[in-house]
Structure 1
Amino acid sequence: MKTSAEADFREYVTGRWPRMLRTAYLLTGNHHDAEDLVQAALAKAYTRWERVQRADDPDAYVWRIMINSNVDRLRGLRVREWPTTRFPDSQAADRTDQVVDRSLLLEALGRLPARQRAVVVLRFLEDRSESEVAKVLGTRVGTVRSHTARALAKLRRDGAVLGLGDGRTPAPSGAGARR
């Protein structure tokens, strides 16, 4: 890769790392897995950097790499890891985000299929529009809407996220999702 392309990539990573890490954390539920996911996505983006730069929306291209890498990661984990509700160390409270009870939200997100989880994270926690989410996931707006509807229905049945947050989390049954 040429020196200017490397400089462009470094600038891209520096500017996007915090947001990508936050999204990856919401997708994985674990800080270490989130860092691994972002690094894997950026490594793939680096090998295709010229193609990424030529894309209509380079951010959507890289976010799609990250979403797909997470889906691939989850496929591999089904055999090797066993989810548990018991943790060996107690988790320290995060004082920067006291509005949302992270553990309930992450558990609820963890019970959603990977694509539905990606749509909920991008739509409600990343505050992206349906068309932006469709672009990131490389799908149609209608597919985003159906994944959103199914995910919200499952979260409502689950009941774990009702009453959490500042209005950006899914609304109780009967209220429409924001578009």
Structure 2
Amino acid sequence: MKAVDEGEYRQFAGARMEQLRRTAFLLCRDWHQADDLVAITLGKLYRNWGRARRADNVDAYVRGILMNAFLDERRRPWRREEPAEHLPDRAGPPDIDMADTRADLLGLLHKLGPGRRAVVVLRFYCDLSVQDTAAILDISEGAVKSQAARGLHTLRLLADPDPDTDRRESR
């Protein structure tokens, strides 16, 4: 890579690193895995920087790399192992930096399947259009709409399993 190209890459990657990390965290709910996904994404971006910078929307191109890296990781057989919910020897108290509602939302988001989670994160966290989300995930616009609707419906059900509770109590 030419020195000029490498400088542009470094500037772009440095400016987007934290946003990519937050997006990756929303997908996998683990900061270490999020860092791994960002490293994979930036490595692939570096190898394809010439093509990426010619893209109409470099941010969308990078999000596509991130989503593909996430979905590829989820397909690996070793990822299907279920980790233990409670580890016997915790190093300290749980991290209480995040608000309860945010932690609840992340927990609910993680209960969605990887594809549906990717659609919800791109549409509602990254605030992408249906068209951009479809292009990044290489699915139809109709699939984006249905997956987003189903994902939001599932999140609502998980958040409040009995939506009629409030109506009955207010009568």
> Shared fold by TM > 0.5?
yes
For residue 29 of structure 1, what is the aligned residue in structure 2?
29
User: Cα RMSD (Å) of the superposition?
Assistant: 2.4
**Cα distance between partner residues in 2 of 1:45 and 1:79:** 24
Match of 1:165 in 2: none
1:101 maps to 101
What is the CA–CA distance in structure 2 between the aligned matches of 1:57 and 1:120, rounded to whole Å?
20
Is residue 67–residue 137 contact of structure 1 (8 Å, CA) maintained in 2?
yes
The structure with the larger Rg is: 2
Following the alignment from structure 1 to structure 2, what is the Cα–Cα distance between the partners of residues 26 and 16? 16
Q: 1:106 is paired with a residue of what secondary structure?
A: helix
Which residue number in structure 1 is paired with residue 169 of structure 2? Answer: none
Structure 1 residue 53: deviation in Å? Answer: 1.0
Q: In the TM superposition, what is the alpha-carbon distance from 1:132 to its structure 2 partner?
A: 2.9
Q: Identity of paired residues, percent?
A: 38
Which residue pairs with 1:6 in the alignment?
Answer: 6
Single out whichever of 45-54 and 149-158 deviates more from structure 2: 149-158
| Change in CA separation of 1:161 and 1:62 when aligned onto 2, cut-off 3 Å | farther
Partner in structure 1 of residue 50 of structure 2: 50
Q: CA deviation at 1:119?
A: 1.2
Q: Which runs of 5+ in 1 are unaligned?
A: 163-171, 174-179
Rounded Cα–Cα distance in structure 2 between residues aligned with 1:161 and 1:47: 46
| TM-score normalised according to structure 1 size | 0.79
CA contact (8 A) 1:104 1:161 kept: no
TM-score norm. by structure 2 comes to 0.82
Q: Please give the per-residue CA displacement for 1:57-98, whole angstroms capped at 9, x wherever unaligned.
A: 11111111100100111112555632343254543212xx53
Report whether the alignment pairs 1:126 with 2:126: yes
- Runs of 4+ with >4 A deviation: 77-80
Unaligned 5+ segments in structure 2 are 165-171
CA contact (8 A) 1:116 1:148 kept: yes
Please state if 1:65 is matched with 2:68: no
